[in-house]
Amino acid sequence: MAIQTGDRIPAMELQVMGANGPEKVNTGDLFAGKKVVLFAVPGAFTPGCSKTHLPGYVVHADKIKAKGVDSIICTSVNDVFVMDAWGKAQNAEEIIMLADGLGEFAKALELTQDRTAAQLGIRSQRYAMIVNDGTVELLNVDSQGIDKSSAETILAAL
């Protein structure tokens, strides 16, 4: 069963780009003692993700953080180099670009989608959640579109 409101985020190692290259980060540490907005996209540099989803969080980052959010994290089943390049291309300085290169995080949350027919492999579903000290307070999954997981929807829920 997919992660639900009231569940804890699983602790596992993923990657972010650091000053000297890829760095391992533990999701337990990213969420411990913090209020976090986490959103996932099916793929970096894809049309909906690049034109609407990530840009919404870039534009509204200050408003989201003003509501008491410590971190905004974007994750995707992409490697750390792609996530870093995409974040830079989108001016996402206020957003942690969390690489789930093997899809392990998406699988642990049970929020994957099979896009092998489109030559994309197993990807993350599109979702957004509010996480408080590692516990999911709100989870919005989009089966189509970006309405439920948009920055505007999450901002209104904070």
* Residue 110, helix vs strand vs coil: coil
Is the pTM higher than 0.85? yes
Q: What local confidence, expressed as pLDDT, does residue 11 receive?
A: 96
Match domain 13-117+126-157 to its CATH number in 3.30.43.10, 2.60.120.10, 3.40.50.300, 3.40.30.10: 3.40.30.10
74 is annotated as an active-site residue: no
In sequence order, the β-bridge partners of residue 140 are 128
Token pair 């505007």 in the structure block, residue: 152
- What tens digit of pLDDT does each residue of 79-122 get? 999 999 999 999 999 999 999 999 999 999 999 988 878 777 68
How many CB atoms are closer than 10 A to CB 37?
27
What is the C-alpha to C-alpha distance for residues 14 and 101, in angstroms, rounded to an integer?
A: 8
The continuous run of DSSP H or E covering 151 comes out as helix 151-157
- In the set 9, 41, 49, 61, the catalytic residue is 49
DSSP for 32-100?
A: TT-EEEEEE-S-TT-HHIIIIIHHHHHHHHHHHHHTT--EEEEEESS-HHHHHHHHHHTT-TTEEEEE-
Residue stretches of the chain with pLDDT short of 70:
121
User: Considering just the CA atoms, what is the radius of gyration of the chain in Å?
Assistant: 14
Q: What local confidence, expressed as pLDDT, does residue 115 receive?
A: 83
